[in-house]
Amino acid sequence: MVSSAHPLASAVGLDVMKNGGNAIDAAIATHFALAVVYPQAGNIGGGGFAVIRMNDGTISSLDFREKAPALAHREMYLNADGQLDNLLSTHGHMATGVPGAVDGMFALHQKYGTLPMAELIEPSIKMAQRGYAITPLAAELLNTKQEEFQTHNRWSTPYHSDQNWQAGDTITQPDLAQTLEHIQTNGRNGFYEGIVADQIVAEMQSGNGLISYADLKNYQSVWRKPIIGNYRGHQIISMAPPSSGGIALIQLLQGTEGYPIADWGHNSTKTIHLMAELEKRVYADRATYLGDPDFVDIPVNQLLDSLYNQQRYADISFDKATPSELVSAGEIPSSESPETTHLSVVDADGNAVAITTTLNSSFGNKVMVKGAGFFLNNEMDDFSSKPGVPNQFGLIGGDANAIAPHKRMLSSMTPTIVTKNGKLKMVVGTPGGSTIITSVYQTLLNVIDFDMGMQEAVHAKKVHHQWYPDEIRVETDALTGSVETDLEQLGHQLRMTDKIGRMDCILVLPDGRLEGGADPRGDNTALGY
């Protein structure tokens, strides 16, 4: 089974497994397909994380997060008065981190792939050449971005249109097809060196971007030890820093385990209150301690210590909300558009992979590399451009996530695999910027505590708190009127929103069958055979 953000991409991955490929082969093929049919987040110009569990129980995780260029520096987005210029870190060439996605796919393939890489890329080349019909949601999104595309590009991209895009319109991408052919023929170097590297550097030079030939050539993905925790008899396997997802998820689950939320009920006043109080404290820790482990010492063991978290949550009161201004990071003893995309894959042998990738904002920095046909990321905004000042997602960061050359920016991506009694149970993940962590958290609770199936758990309405701003973000119709009133009386501020998360998940049922959960908030599609 494959669950991804677009039906055509899921179909590509499924075909790979029908033709003898394993889950990792399918995930790689799905990723390249998303770069064609889901350009707002699927990409070769961004980066991400992968969590893998093979059927023999072997687990691993790959960090192919973008890196700051060598010329990046701590104050690069501050104006003469020392104030943050948000536009520089979110739009245009200076917002771009060195892309890691292509290197990441080749690193995954080298370790786990079984089919030739050229075979995995071929379906995406054909889709880019022949074109594909856009969905109603894609047409609506493209129509909202026309002004930004025109502002930030020197030429007319395939996504420009003088008239409104309509569902069913065909988009062809000959430049992207050619770029994918360079990668197909020359491997990793087909992107990081040669013609495509020339195009990227030329694009940078046209708009004061910082990425150089050396930045591209020297980029390398990193295999990291996954974050592992336990929750009500389940093993949780998730991503380590520079993703904050794994640590934050385990902290949230540790705080939840001591309470009978199944008895309290899904989205009840007590359940929502507890989640919000836990999330305030976890996001405060995230802001203070987490960053790139190659640059800062992260107290991983302490943050995951059950005694630390027990003390951390000891002051939670069920009589009133704790104002965020009274919540700070825990005392450690001395010693991340919301446009991202996720895919989950399980093959016939029980190998599983969860991959979350991103350009950061929708269509990244809105700049398409001239002649190469892909959008660049605006991932530099995920650094703490000015410690203590929120980024585009309202997330506050500290010195641990300050900008430095070659450093990876902190992320919220949370690709996660769950096992029970040594057997695969779930593969989960989502886009959503700062809401990624809490969406994965709630989806796990929905299955484990509230006994939902996978599609039901994905479909269920969600809420989110991230310390600052001091508010619970609530999906429309997530809560009853009485629960909203009760939460407000406890001192919570509520802010309604249309959508939180776009989950793509797989659940292994007791009889071994797979149930896909594809989010109805988007064009997400789960396909199996």
3-state secondary structure of 517: strand
Give the integer Cα–Cα distance in Å for 384 and 109. Answer: 33
Helices 269-289 and 436-448: crossing angle, nearest 10°? 140
Peptide bond into 123 cis (omega under 30): no
Q: Chain-centre distance of CA 355, in angstroms?
A: 8
Secondary structure class of 343 (helix, strand, coil): strand
Cα–Cα distance, 521 to 137 (Å, whole number): 10
Q: Please state, as a whole number, how many other Cβ atoms lie within 10 Å of the Cβ of residue 508.
A: 22
Judge contact between 239 and 61, C-beta under 8 A: yes
The answer to whether 525 is a known catalytic residue is no
DSSP assigned state of 226: P
In the DSSP assignment, the letter for residue 377 is P
Q: Which spans in 91-244 are helix H?
A: 101-112, 117-130, 136-152, 174-186, 189-192, 194-206, 213-218
- For residues 394 and 319, give the distance between their C-alpha atoms in angstroms, rounded to a whole number: 27
Q: Which of 340, 341, 358, 430 is catalytic?
A: 340
- Contact assessment for residue 273 and residue 260, using Cβ atoms and an 8 Å cutoff: no
Name which of 343, 382, 385 is nearest 361 in CA terms: 382
Largest Cα separation within the chain, whole Å, is 64
**Structure token pair of residue 449:** 């505590």
Q: How far is CA 477 from CA 8, 102, 189, 233, in A?
A: 31, 40, 49, 32
C-alpha 165/C-alpha 302 separation (Å) is 52
Give the whole-angstrom CA distance, residue 310 versus residue 323.
19
Long-range contacts: 515-519, Cβ < 8 Å, 24+? 515/453, 515/454, 515/455, 516/1, 516/3, 516/454, 516/455, 517/3, 517/443, 517/453, 517/454, 517/455, 517/456, 517/457, 517/458, 517/459, 518/3, 518/4, 518/10, 518/455, 518/458, 519/430, 519/458, 519/459
Which residues are tagged catalytic? 340
